[in-house]
Amino acid sequence: MTAMNNTETHQIWPRVTVIGAGAMGAQIAGVIARSGRDVVLADTSAEALQRALAMLDSRWESSVTKGRMTAEAKLTAYQRISTTTEPVAGCAQADLVIEAIIERVDAKRDLFAAIGETTPVGAVLSTNSSSFVPSQIADVVPNPGRFLGLHFFNPALVMKCVEVIAGPDTDPQILDAATKFVEQIDKGPVVLRKEINGFVANRILNAVRDEAIHLLEGGYASVTDIDRACRTALGYPMGPFELMDLTGIDIGYLTKTARFEATGDTRDAPSRTVTDKVRAGHLGRKTGRGFYLYDEHGSKLGESPTTAAEGDPTHG
Catalytic residue among 130, 131, 271, 304: 130
Q: Residue 194, CB half-sphere, CA atoms under 13 Å: how many?
A: 0
Q: Does 288 bind ligand 3HC (CB under 6 A)?
A: no
Q: What is the DSSP string of 241-270?
A: HHHHHHH-HHHHHHHHHHHHHHH--GGGSP
Least distance from ligand 3HC to the Cβ atom of residue 23, Å:
8
Q: Does 202 bind ligand 3HC (CB under 6 A)?
A: yes
**Residue 297 CB-density burial (10 A; 0-12 exposed, 13-18 middle, 19+ buried):** exposed
Least distance from ligand 3HC to the Cβ atom of residue 107, Å:
16
Q: Is there a catalytic annotation at residue 63? A: no
94-125: burial string, b at 16+ Cβ within 10 Å, e else:
bbbbbbbbebeeeebbebbebbbeebeeebbb
d(C-alpha 134, C-alpha 219), whole Å: 39
Q: Is there a catalytic annotation at residue 297? A: no
Q: Which of 4, 46, 158, 207 lies at the binding interface for ligand 3HC (CB under 6 A)?
A: 158
Interacting residues with ligand 3HC between 67 and 86 (CB under 6 A): 68
Nearer to ligand 3HC, 83 or 202 (CB): 202
Q: Does 184 bind ligand 3HC (CB under 6 A)?
A: no
Q: Does 63 bind ligand 3HC (CB under 6 A)?
A: yes
d(C-alpha 63, C-alpha 237), whole Å: 20
Q: Which of 37, 59, 187, 277 lies at the binding interface for ligand 3HC (CB under 6 A)?
A: 59
Q: Is there a catalytic annotation at residue 163? A: yes
Least distance from ligand 3HC to the Cβ atom of residue 292, Å:
14
Q: Does 251 bind ligand 3HC (CB under 6 A)?
A: yes
Catalytic residue among 103, 126, 151, 310: 151
Q: What is the DSSP letter of 19?
A: E
**Cβ atoms < 10 Å from Cβ of 90:** 21
d(C-alpha 173, C-alpha 111), whole Å: 25
Nearer to ligand 3HC, 119 or 273 (CB): 273
Asked if omega into 155 is within 30° of 0 (cis), the reply is yes
Q: Does 200 bind ligand 3HC (CB under 6 A)?
A: no
Q: Does 243 bind ligand 3HC (CB under 6 A)?
A: yes
Task: Give the three-state DSSP class for 141.
Answer: coil
d(C-alpha 307, C-alpha 284), whole Å: 15
Catalytic residue among 202, 242, 271, 310: 202
Q: Does 157 bind ligand 3HC (CB under 6 A)?
A: yes
Q: Which residues are catalytic?
A: 130, 151, 163, 202
Which residues contact ligand 3HC (rule: CB under 6 A)?
59, 62-63, 66, 68, 130, 153-155, 157-159, 202, 205, 237-238, 243, 247, 251
